[in-house]
Amino acid sequence: MIKIANIYYDLLNLYGDTGNCKALAYHLRETGEEVTVDNIRFGDKIDFSDYNVIFIGSGTENNLKLALDDILRYKNDILEYKSNGGFLIATGNSIELFGKSALEIFDYTVTYQNERTVRDVCMKTSVFDFDIIGFENHRGTIDRDEKIILEDNFILTYTIGPLLVRNPKLTDYIIRKLLENSDSDPSKADYTFEEKAYETSQNTDLKNITSE
Amino acid sequence: MKRFLGTLIGKMVFFAEKIMHYNASSFPGEFVLKLFPDYLKTVKYPKLVIMVTGSCGKGSTTRIIADALRENGMTVAHNLEGSNLLSGVASTVIKNIKFSGKIPTDALVLETDERYLKFITKYIKPDYLVINNITRDQPPRQGDFDIVFGEILKGIPENTHIIVNGDDPVTKKFSLYKNDMTYFGIDEFFASYENDINDVKDINYCPKCSARLDYKYRHYGSVGDFKCPNCDFARNTPDFCITSVDKDTNEITVNNKSRITANELILFNLYNLVAAYSVLSLVGIADDKISSSLNAQHIQNKIYKETVKKGRKYIALNCKAENNATYNLAVIHTSLDKSPKTIVLGLREISRRYTFFDLSWLYDINFELLNDDNLKNVVCAGPYRYDFATRIMLAGIPKDKIIILDNLDHAGKVFDEQTQGNVYGILNFDYIDPFINSVNEIE
């Protein structure tokens, strides 16, 4: 059984980030695996050791501040969860919670610009043999060159899309890792629609915002 | 002198556009502002200036207000829908201004873009500003609703009376910054619901004290009768409120006394009506006169179109891409039909302003609400058909109900032969005409 939590579900839910959780749960169930999803509200207690996968998504800057004040108490729990191989998928500006002056689980520093970063994303990584696509819409930036951070089973990126909807191969990668010790068969997951959508966006000209 | 030259040049550009059969409503204004950036400062505006801003419905509300003022004997200048940036407003001014520098009408009614409000009010001070709603809208351009709130706040001049949606905690938040306010709202009616439908909401926590807001009922998302359990932040009774909605006669009542026949009971229409009602009343028009000018026959149908073919209803619901609230209302409306049904989804262009590939807002639409046995088919059409199909699949709707079409051209035969029940087109505005044309082809 795979247990998933979507934390700060009612606070950090801008830009369709809840779709990540829907995609993972849906395809895991296709493999025959039993799945539970807990949508955890702001202020409710989070028992990290109880889960295999934690999702956290984008929020307004005010809401991100509220979440920061709350999540700080879990620093040790999150470090332990990470070293035990738990998955955490942070998308959008929620990655700012994990850097310096915040949880300090990663050593990047966040700075805020006047202009927002708004752009289509298509990136290569050293880990995957496919391009990761999606969208970015945020004001903060981190001092790292890579657009996606992969460490243990933590995946952090400003990329929205939703990330796991736009990138079925990434979802497949996560599902295969999650099911390493399970009898469920990852090849039973059917990504036909997502693959076709992925092709469509690869064939679309991606231009920048036009001035008004 | 600058004013005179600006007016002259602007009117010449309008004239040139006319003889060339070229129609760009904001170009004359843009041209004049390039030459004379402070042109708008020199103009003598009508005694009554009303502006309308917000994420959805500002164009319709502006038109309703302008038409009602005219019907009550006033002359009115107003901008065409969508010409709501500074250049569009300047064009409206140039079109209506006399060479004396005066706009001779009794009133000026302007639809204003949320983010451009502050640039427009730098030159034109509205007596009344209506703020319809603030929702997730065009995220690549707007960022988020908190940012839009901040931008509007910056654009409200000191002596302007603001009229806001009191059912929406996001617009109610203006009360933390402003005193002189009027609220409009809608009491519980047949489309409201008491239990959380587990959709994505813009606001769940009190902006004053961060406690979780309680609700008696909701109309959609975080809009409804809310109350903070911890402090005084609450909906309270709006000054102008739709107190009853009759599903059979389409009659609505404002403040238990004024009856208006609405031509469609879609929530945003009701809000547009009661927002217009509020400002018309504040301007001093009598209740019975407001009611008669807001009656259905005067107001164009925009959101909703219905036809019957071979005993099946075909309903086109006009939504805005990148705006989940318009879609969620269409979804709620569709869910109220408990008979067998089909939905049709699609769009041609995500945005007319930019070419970003951002469909993340599809996951802020609660398609899960439609996942039941009554839903027989889902048609996903257009360049993003597989993105829609993915969304529908992830809502738990069985894949064998999904029909994929390249586009909606001549899709009538597919609707007629391959789908069941009433057909709801939950469509971006650029797919409304192809849908209606396809329906009309059904013999």
B179-231 pLDDT, tens digit each: 889 999 999 999 999 988 888 899 999 999 999 999 999 999 999 999 999 99
Q: Rounded to two decimals, what is the model's pTM?
A: 0.93
Is residue B20 domain-shared with residue B165, that is, in the same domain?
Answer: yes
Is it the case that residue A68 has pLDDT exceeding 90? yes
The predicted model gives B105-112 an average pLDDT of 97
Is it the case that residue A147 has pLDDT exceeding 60? yes
Domain-terminating residue out of B298, B333, B358: B298
Residue in B201, B355, B360 closest to A135 by CB: B360
Is residue B178 domain-shared with residue B89, that is, in the same domain?
Answer: yes
For B47-84, what is each residue's pLDDT tens digit?
999 999 999 889 999 999 999 999 999 999 999 877 89
Residue B1's pLDDT is what? 72
Residue B145: list chain A partners with CB under 8 A: 60
Is it the case that residue A93 has pLDDT exceeding 70? yes
How does residue B383 score in pLDDT terms, banded at 50, 70 and 90?
A: very high
Is residue B192 domain-shared with residue B314, that is, in the same domain?
Answer: no
For B363-382, what is each residue's pLDDT tens digit?
999 999 999 999 999 999 99
- B50 with B65: CB under 8 angstroms? yes
For B150-185, what is each residue's pLDDT tens digit?
999 999 999 999 999 999 999 999 999 988 899 999
The residues spanned by each domain of chain A are 2-202
Is residue B283 domain-shared with residue B325, that is, in the same domain?
Answer: no
Among A137, A160, A201, A210, which would you mutate to test the B interface (most chain B Cβ atoms within 10 Å of its Cβ)? A137
Q: Which domain holds residue B190?
A: 2-298
Which CATH fold topology does A2-202 show?
A: Rossmann fold (3.40.50)
Is residue B290 domain-shared with residue B326, that is, in the same domain?
Answer: no
For chain B, give the mean pLDDT: 93
Residue A4's pLDDT is what? 98
Is residue B177 domain-shared with residue B290, that is, in the same domain?
Answer: yes
For B176-185, what is each residue's pLDDT tens digit?
998 889 999 9
For chain A, give the mean pLDDT: 94
Is it the case that residue B297 has pLDDT exceeding 70? no
Q: How many domains does chain B have?
A: 2
The predicted model gives B273-291 an average pLDDT of 97
Is it the case that residue B441 has pLDDT exceeding 60? yes
Is residue B243 domain-shared with residue B285, that is, in the same domain?
Answer: yes
What ipTM, to 2 d.p.? 0.95
Is it the case that residue A210 has pLDDT exceeding 50? no
Q: Min CA distance, A83 vs chain B (Å)?
A: 31
Residue A211's pLDDT is what? 30
Residue A205's pLDDT is what? 56
CATH of the domain at B217: 3.40.1190.10
- B416 with B442: CB under 8 angstroms? yes
Q: Does the beta-carbon distance from B360 to A26 stay under 8 Å? A: no
Is residue B268 domain-shared with residue B353, that is, in the same domain?
Answer: no
CATH of the domain at B375: 3.90.190.20
Residue B300's pLDDT is what? 67
Residue in B204, B205, B390 closest to A197 by CB: B390
